[in-house]
Structure 1
Amino acid sequence: MTLAKEEPDRGEPLAPGGQDPYVPSERRLARERYKRTRSRRAVAVAALSSLVTAAALVLVVVNAPGWSRTRETFFDAGYAREALPLVLDGLWLNVRLLLVCGAAVLVLGMLIAVARTLPGPVFFPLRALAAAYTDFFRGLPLIINLMIVVLGVPALRLQGVSVDPVLLGGTALTLTYSAYVAEVFRAGIESVHPSQRAAARSLGLTNRQALRHVVLPQAVRRQVPPLLNDLVSLQKDTGLVSIGGAVDAVRAADIIVGRSLNYTPYLVAGLLFIALTIPMTRLTDWVTARTDRRRAQGGLL
């Protein structure tokens, strides 16, 4: 009688399928240890160099001849506490402008981009108007556009037209940024291969259905990072509506500065704008990296 050969006891359960569990080699373990060591060393060097650079900058600024006067003018804690509630109240106007103007910019920019990509000679006048719109407002400085709209529209004395500086300033922002966003959308539409539209038409979809269900979803998905960058810029430029008299964060700081002749409120407003912009910037970076990874893996058409 033949006895079955006994398997040696390895002290570990077998993997599914009866195979031995994976055990990394010594070379792989050494390579991973080396990578971890290099990563820790890089973090330590970066932290040390940052501390040295920050300390050098602080020493240069503090030892400057006019530092004491600059500290009193721009870094006064008393004026900062006085300005913070008023600037925060004005910042809420900037946030509302961002939400309303951002939505209007996306809609208007999409319509202009679609108009510029309509095929056929019958749509030539529409394409020409859309191209003229984008060329004009992309070439016109935003500050001049704001002055024309905020100061020029009330001078016309049109019946039924609001002269609210917030509404007029938001209109100027929308006109300018919709031209930039339209070009972003147009680049996304033109990046979709014509075979996608041809395949949609072969399935029985009309041109409008192919654009809506096939082309635009791909175009928007590809252009999310630059669209977020434009929204970050819009978020900062909402402070320009103060030139028309709207009491936003910048105007609230300007009122306090005019009364106290101390510029600390400007610094408070700037820091609040930075705090508002950083989350959007980090979101943009995350979406960009995620899009690049999906495109590298072939998961994004």
Structure 2
Amino acid sequence: MTHDQQTGPAGTAGPVWAPSEHELARRAVRRAQDRRRTLVAVLSSVVVIGGLMVVVGTSKGWPVVQETFFDLSYGLEVLPDIWDGFLLNLRLAAIAVVCIAVLSMVIALVRTSTAPALAPLRILATVYVDLFRGIPLLLVLLLIGFGVPALQLTDTPPSVNVLGTAAVVLTYSAYVAEVIRSGILSVHPSQRAAARSLGLSQAQTMRHVVLPQAIRRVVPPLLNDLVALLKDIGLVSILGARDAIRNAQIETSTTFNYTPYIVASILFLLVTIPLTRLTDRVLEKSIARQNASGTA
């Protein structure tokens, strides 16, 4: 490394850093290595993907598969109905996200509380988490969807949309509550002690000190749960909800052409892929921040 005596922006002379010849040589080597790695990655991708396309395209059954699963004209024909059902999926997912956020936060706070008076609630919260994390979502949907109407609590039974969303909320709240609880427990106890020494109450410490750090740490897994929720909300179709999957099934049953399923899959991918890339980006920033602060 070298320093040249030059005039700075303010008009005062001072040493200005400039890379040495060795540093410039190292940079040139790194650039060459990056170009070589990029070239190898591109060539390997072309070979693998191109080989798969050749194998699939030259197979004997490809014409039948193309006609049965990738009929463009039929896909455009059924797109409006499937799109209407997909909007229902998005609405139910939005409602579920709000309910899950509230319920899971309450459960996480109860389970991390040390107040003796909340011991019965902690037991109930633990049982709830163990129960709904242990039962598959499909079974929860069937139990809620057929069990609640059988109780005849009201003259008019709840709609399948309400029952299906309730089942999803009950299941996902158990998972999200554990994610939030792990974030709360990851905050060092010294943070609580420092907040209490400053005169903050237990509730104020949790609200202003612990929760902001905890939520920031668990944002990547929460985004992963959101992606999974957007996919699993389609399971409400087994109760008869006219969502994208149900509408695709109806169209397929009349023509025995499976292109509607491909159309529904593409609609879900248009939402889940950007969310997945966002999750990866947030995770990368989180790791970089932890490495910079020396906590990784």
Q: TM-score, normalised by structure 1?
A: 0.92
What is the rounded CA distance, in whole Å, between the counterparts of 1:248 and 1:85 in structure 2?
A: 12
Matched, 1:159 2:121: no
What is the rounded CA distance, in whole Å, between the counterparts of 1:13 and 1:213 in structure 2?
A: 49
In structure 2, the residue matched to 1:4 is none
Structure with greater proportional strand content: 2
Query: Residue 167 of structure 2: which of 167, 172, 176 is its match?
Result: 172
Matched, 1:212 2:207: yes
Which sections of structure 1, spanning at least 5 residues, go unmatched? Answer: 1-9
Contact 2:6 2:13 in 1 (8 A): no
User: Sequence identity of aligned pairs in percent?
Assistant: 51
In structure 2, the residue matched to 1:261 is 256
Query: Residue 41 of structure 2: which of 37, 43, 46 is its match?
Result: 46
Which sections of structure 2, spanning at least 5 residues, go unmatched? Answer: none
* 70-79 vs 138-147, greater mean Cα deviation: 70-79
Task: Report the Cα offset of residue 18 of structure 1.
Answer: 1.1
CA 1:140/1:161 → structure 2, altered by over 3 Å: closer, same or farther? farther
In structure 2, the residue matched to 1:224 is 219
* 1:135-177 residue CA offsets vs partner (Å, 9 max, x unmatched): 0000010001011111221222211665211111111110000
In structure 2, the residue matched to 1:275 is 270
- Matched position secondary structure for 1:297: helix
Aligned pairs for 1:25-104 (under 5 A) are 25-104=20-99
What is the rounded CA distance, in whole Å, between the counterparts of 1:208 and 1:22 in structure 2?
A: 51
What is the rounded CA distance, in whole Å, between the counterparts of 2:115 and 2:148 in structure 1?
A: 37
* 1:38-71 residue CA offsets vs partner (Å, 9 max, x unmatched): 1122112111111111111112112223222211
In structure 2, the residue matched to 1:15 is 8
Matched, 1:131 2:126: yes
What is the rounded CA distance, in whole Å, between the counterparts of 1:109 and 1:92 in structure 2?
A: 25
Task: Report the Cα offset of residue 120 of structure 1.
Answer: 3.5
CA 1:217/1:162 → structure 2, altered by over 3 Å: closer, same or farther? farther
- Matched position secondary structure for 1:21: strand
* Matching residue's letter, 1:167: V
What is the rounded CA distance, in whole Å, between the counterparts of 1:100 and 1:160 in structure 2?
A: 25
Contact 2:132 2:170 in 1 (8 A): yes
Structure with greater Cα Rg: 1
CA 1:299/1:87 → structure 2, altered by over 3 Å: closer, same or farther? farther
Task: Report the Cα offset of residue 227 of structure 1.
Answer: 0.6
* 1:193-230 residue CA offsets vs partner (Å, 9 max, x unmatched): 11211111112121111111111111111111111111
What is the rounded CA distance, in whole Å, between the counterparts of 1:198 and 1:160 in structure 2?
A: 54
* 1:49-101 residue CA offsets vs partner (Å, 9 max, x unmatched): 11111111112112223222211111111211112221111111111122111
CA 1:160/1:195 → structure 2, altered by over 3 Å: closer, same or farther? farther
In structure 2, the residue matched to 1:284 is 279
* 1:208-258 residue CA offsets vs partner (Å, 9 max, x unmatched): 111111111111111111111111100111111111111111111111101
- Matched position secondary structure for 2:17: coil
